[in-house]
A = this chain, B = another copy of it.
Amino acid sequence: MKYENDLKNILSEYKAGNIAEDEVLARLQNANYTDLGFAKLDHNRSIRQGFPEVVYCEGKTIEQVVEIMKMLASKHKNVLGTRASEEMYEAVKKELPEVKYHKIARLLTIENEALVKDSERKIAIITAGTSDMPISEEAAITAEIMGNEVIRIYDVGVAGIHRLLDKLELIRSANVVIVIAGMEGALASVVGGLVDKPVIAVPTSVGYGANFQGLSALLGMLNSCAAGVAVVNIDNGFGAARMASIINHMR
């Protein structure tokens, strides 16, 4: 708990009269994050939530992504960037040769010291169809780099429910379940009714017209008749994995 110790030290030094009020404020600020002007990198998030701040690359310039990745890599062993283009990867690799690019998941990862994984506590990631793979791989790799073992169970949509039922034992062996589906998103309800573990549902924008960019799956999952289902944003595999990882690390 580096951050809280820092705070206590600063406070006691202040009380002891060793440092002035202005100094207190300045130090607290520096301890917290690095200010690049266009971005403020939150270092204590790694303590507070178990992993350093993750870079959401979309909408940033290539230069910004490179600069942020470098700064994070200088302070943390493991770094994650989401929604990264191949171009961003090429640029980052020049500065940080250890970076890896996961094309289908559009992730950048640096993993200098893999976190320990508890093999008794797995996260199952279930998709309705093959077309959901960009999202499921975003979730799976995120969960892995955050220190979780992952079980991938893909293409078991409810229209052929025996494929799902065949995997029931495997699914029930997991500690947390992520369900990823487009179209009507029904898989979340069916899985939710079959397991007694928390289910994180991710609607995807996969489907014909009235999917409306994921709206149908989103509403379907929010209205799930099964208990123990909560929902994250459309196509947000990263967010689901983050939530699942937090739950999975609870003791």
Contacts and interface: CB of A to CB of B under 8 A. Distances in A.
A50 to B, nearest CB: 6
Interface string A203-243: 10111111111111111111111111111111110011011
A163 B42 contact: yes
Most buried by B among A39, A203, A231: A231
B222 A246 contact: no
B225 A129 contact: yes
Given A33-B160, A227-B49, A131 B186 contact: no
A34 B203 CA distance: 26
A104 to B, nearest CB: 8
A84 interface: no
Contacts of A210: 214-215, 218-219, 222-223, 233-234
A243 B230 contact: yes
Interface string A53-67: 110101111001000
Contacts of A56: 129, 131
A225 B155 contact: no
A32 interface: yes
B230 A231 contact: yes
Given A183-B224, A208-B223, A222-B233, 12 more contacts: A29-B166, A38-B130, A49-B227, A59-B132, A158-B225, A159-B192, A159-B227, A186-B224, A209-B236, A223-B233, A229-B232, A230-B232
